[in-house]
Amino acid sequence: MSVEVVDANIEYMTHMAVLQIISLGTKHGVFSMLAREPSLQEFLDNTGLPNRALLVKFLSTLQQLGMVSIDRGRLRLNDFSYTLSVSGEAYRNLIPDWVSVHEEIYRMVDYAFITPVHPRILMDFDKDADFWDIRMNSSFSRTYRKVMAEVSGISSGMEVFDIGCGSVSPEYFGSLVGYNGFYMGIDYSPSMLDIARMRVEEKNLPVTLKEIDARLMRPINEYDVVLMSFVLEYISDRGKVLVKAVETLKEGGKLVILEPFRDTFPNIAALEFFESLNKDFRGFPSMEEVESVLKASELDVSMKRLGRSLLLVEKV
């Protein structure tokens, strides 16, 4: 496995999200309304979609993608072209099963446009734990976990701390560290932890799981490896959590961060729009943001970019 495979699939997710944005805008008459160059209020009043909060978020996404601009208080559609160019190597790296997950998210967003309030379209970690478990069990998710294990050198006997562990990672990483190692996973979703607990108990793995908000964690033990995969986008105070994550490392320990970093994937705003159906989503971080936070801290670390989606931090 390699980080290039992860990068290629995240890039394709972004491509698909842009095309889905165009599809939604066409289907719900958003582009037709924008072509009349309305004011924001006219746009909200006359588009005919009851979910105004989502409509405002959609409009913001169109602006970030460069499709829409505001000129003297009027909304204007810009000329927009989108070229999808994929090499043969990228095709070989594609993992197909995430597509069905993203199609389901598209369906939920599509329905959310015409439903101001509905309990089944929020992608909540607890209420929709089964959906998230399916997503975390995809081949793509299994691939990035393997990549993280390889670059951090996780092996039998090591001590690993997983921030935002979800429902699948505890079983995988717990198996890698073995019965002479230790794995600690934290998550703020009790439903996700219940699923994870069921899996690790079946195999009697050396795993400890705790329901903790990452912002409230207190470094006590020291670990060989700290993992953070697709979690920073749900954290408002990222700097505080990143510093605490490094503080939990032993000397020479490694922090592995995997994200669709917004400064390495163009048009990431399209993917953010769909992910924001989860009320806890805060937006993807940039790799530069993470590096700046750690450089500004008093911690002695070295950092290495691995591809576009993975940052390896070592405590010196």
Look at residue 76 and give its three-state secondary structure.
Answer: strand
Establish if 120 belongs to a structural domain. no
Burial 140-158 (b: 16+ CB within 10 A, else e): bbbbbbbbbbebbebeeeb
Instruction: Find out whether 102 and 92 touch, Cβ atoms under 8 Å.
Output: no
Look at residue 236 and give its three-state secondary structure.
Answer: coil
Establish if 29 belongs to a structural domain. no
Nearest C-alpha neighbor of 312 from the set 257, 261, 250: 257
Confidence of residue 22 (pLDDT cuts 50, 70, 90): very high
Torsion of CA 221, 226, 229, 233, to 10 degrees: 60
State how far the Cα of 225 lies from the Cα of 81, in Å rounded to an integer.
Answer: 43
Establish if 195 belongs to a structural domain. yes
Nearest C-alpha neighbor of 209 from the set 226, 188, 229: 188
Instruction: Find out whether 256 and 152 touch, Cβ atoms under 8 Å.
Output: yes
More confident residue, 219 or 204: 204
Query: Which pLDDT tens digit goes with each residue over 238-260?
Result: 999 999 999 999 999 999 999 99
Query: Which pLDDT tens digit goes with each residue over 285-303?
Result: 999 999 999 999 989 999 9
- Domain span holding position 188: 145-265+281-315
Establish if 103 belongs to a structural domain. no
Establish if 77 belongs to a structural domain. no
Gyration radius of the chain over CA positions: 21
Establish if 209 belongs to a structural domain. yes
What mean pLDDT value characterizes the chain?
93
Establish if 215 belongs to a structural domain. yes
Query: Rounded mean pLDDT of 69-92?
Result: 86
More confident residue, 245 or 220: 245
> Does residue 213 surpass a pLDDT of 70?
yes
Burial 100-127 (b: 16+ CB within 10 A, else e): ebbeebbebbbebbeeeeeeebbbbbee
Confidence of residue 120 (pLDDT cuts 50, 70, 90): low
Query: Rounded mean pLDDT of 167-192?
Result: 96
Considering its fold, how many domains does the chain have in total? 1
Q: What is the CATH number of the domain that holds 209?
A: 3.40.50.150
Which of the residue ranges 40-54, 104-118, 207-221 would you say has the lowest mean pLDDT?
104-118
More confident residue, 159 or 92: 159
Q: Which amino acid is at 130?
A: D
State how far the Cα of 63 lies from the Cα of 276, in Å rounded to an integer.
Answer: 16
> Does residue 311 surpass a pLDDT of 80?
yes
Establish if 155 belongs to a structural domain. yes
Nearest C-alpha neighbor of 173 from the set 192, 158, 191: 158
Percent of the chain with pLDDT over 70: 97
